[in-house]
A = this chain, B = another copy of it.
């Protein structure tokens, strides 16, 4: 084993390490990747050679032959439309990345992927153009698969991905049945939890601010809420549709207050809208929860930022996101496994607002 520093023009290659260690390229590869048995003594020699040369494997060369790059795409689909354009490229993305719910998703995914040495590539797919960009990206082998967080129902991307045969896992069940893995939450049960809690609290005149009704999750939360209320003998519940933003919660609550000034309970389909509702209620002089109880959904950071802090239906988002990543990696390792989906149960987190 010679001891000269070994400087190629660029960074050291397997060949360099092999030369220093006095073995073949194949052996170094075996040691680096830990495949097959290699004599412990030789292993040690190779490791030292790696250290001496400062060798780092070139991932491009590796994936060229393995057909795996060791990274996944994190696709946020159907974010904002054309609105909110600023500057040459448009910053319509601000909204989605600022969403505390989305923050939890990313956190969960990164938490799972990172210990495994995998890092997500952030992509937006809000236009047809962007969608084909995502597809091309995957087909070029820039990522092994996709984690897809869709924000609206008619997103064509899940279908496109399955058609292209690209491994993917969705956050939330697709609007129409599709042979694709997904992770979801039992939104229906979540709606029930909210209803049960409001009724148990003694609320009698209850309304709800639903999410966009083309999204399955919104439908389920609403249905679960309505069914449970019906079970409690209140078959008719005023409903106003929002779009999951704080602003829409404000608007919805204002409308509810006009139409039903004697409300004593509100279930909002997410925390941001619940926060908006609370703001309006307080501005109109209603105490929360004494006059009107408010229940949110998600248990996002908005629930804590709100005053009073929100009682909310908690989705185990981080766990769901981690499961999503886990499912994808499994799919990658066993390509012919059939699609699997996992549904998590929500829980009620009681704080001050109800």
| Complex alpha-carbon distance, A63 and B87, angstroms | 31
Residue A169 at the B interface, CB < 8 A? no
User: Which partner residue on chain B sits nearest A74 by CB separation?
Assistant: B122
A155 interfacial contact with B, CB 8 Å:
no
CB distance from A210 to the nearest CB of B (A): 21
The prevalent SS among residues of A at the interface is helix
Identical copies in the complex: 2
- Checking B67, B71, B87, B279 against A307 with a beta-carbon cut-off of 8 angstroms, the contacting residue is B279
Q: Which of chain B's residues have a CB closer than 8 A to the CB of A307?
A: 279, 282-283
B305:A246 contact, CB within 8 angstroms: yes
Chain A interface residue count, Cβ-Cβ cutoff 8 angstroms = 69
Q: Does A112 contact B (CB under 8 A)?
A: yes
Q: Which of A115, A121, A304 gathers most chain B CB within 10 Å?
A: A121
CB distance from A204 to the nearest CB of B (A): 28
A11 & B139 in contact (Cβ 8 Å cutoff): yes
Q: Hey, which chain B residues are within 8 Å of A98, CB to CB?
A: 100, 103-104, 107, 300-301
- The reply on A106 being an interface residue by CB < 8 A is yes
| Given A98-B301, A122-B122, also A56-B91 (CB < 8 A) | no
Nearest-neighbour CB distance to chain B for A198, whole angstroms, equals 24
- Which 8 interchain pairs have the tightest Cβ spacing? A98-B103, A97-B103, A94-B107, A93-B107, A60-B63, A97-B106, A60-B64, A89-B111
> Which parts of A285-316 form the interface with B (CB within 8 Å)?
300-302, 304-305, 307
Contact residue among B11, B108, B121 (Cβ-Cβ distance under 8 Å from A121): B121
Tell me which residues across on chain B come within 8 A of A282, comparing CB atoms: 307
- Nearest chain B CB to A146 CB, angstrom units: 12
A114 at the interface (CB under 8 A from B): yes
**In the bound complex, how far is the Cα of B97 from the Cα of A40, in angstroms?**
44
A268 within 8 A of B: no
Give residues of chain A (115-141) contacting chain B, Cβ–Cβ below 8 Å.
Answer: 115, 117, 119-124, 130, 133, 136-137, 139-141
Check: A110 CB closer than 8 A to any chain B CB. Answer: yes
